[in-house]
């Protein structure tokens, strides 16, 4: 599918209506929006990049979500199933960061103002000993 055109004429609007999350999932399925969760040196990080579901602009959102836990390896001994220890889903709230000023945006604000949620399945988190 062709990448949507960036609609910089889209008026800035501070919105987080669920419809934008739904549209973000459609873009994920079309491979126009991508998301990943990784653990490096015990630090969980997320990245969401690609087309904004509202304005079509390119965004690249990187976060270190607030999470409590040990992502460096097994806790509880060698007989404990590692899958039990991993969080099943990491939820990430993303705000458009397309870098373009949209009509009626507050001074100094870039992006169209939309926020949406992406839930990343933790099975993409490398297990103990995985580089």
Give me the residue spans of the domains in the chain: 18-124
> CA–CA separation, 56 vs 7, rounded Å?
6
Angle at 45 between CA 39 and CA 47, to 5 degrees: 125
The one-digit pLDDT tens for each residue of the chain (131 residues) are: 677 788 888 899 999 999 999 999 999 999 999 999 888 777 888 999 999 999 999 999 999 876 555 545 544 555 455 545 555 678 899 999 999 989 999 999 999 999 999 998 755 444 444 43
> CA–CA separation, 35 vs 121, rounded Å?
10
> CA–CA separation, 118 vs 47, rounded Å?
10
Q: How far is CA 83 from CA 38, 74, 77, in A?
A: 15, 10, 13
Terminus-to-terminus CA distance in the chain, angstroms?
Answer: 33
- Kindly report the pTM of this predicted structure: 0.75
The 3-class secondary structure across 55-73, one letter per residue, is CCCEEEEEECCCCCCCCCC
Return the number of other C-beta atoms located less than 10 Å from residue 57's C-beta: 23
How many residues are there in the chain? 131
């Amino acid at each position: 599918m062709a990448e949507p055109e960036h609609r910089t004429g889209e008026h800035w609007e501070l919105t987080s209506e669920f419809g934008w999350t739904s549209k973000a999932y459609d873009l994920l399925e079309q491979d126009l929006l991508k998301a990943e969760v990784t653990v490096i040196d015990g630090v969980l990080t997320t990245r969401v990049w690609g087309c904004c579901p509202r304005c079509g602009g390119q965004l690249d959102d990187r976060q270190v979500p607030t999470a409590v836990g040990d992502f460096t390896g097994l806790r509880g001994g060698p007989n404990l199933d590692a899958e039990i220890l991993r969080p099943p889903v990491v939820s990430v709230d993303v705000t458009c960061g397309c870098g373009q000023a949209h009509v009626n945006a507050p001074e100094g604000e870039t992006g169209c103002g939309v926020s949406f949620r992406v839930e990343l399945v933790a099975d993409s988190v490398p297990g103990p000993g995985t580089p």
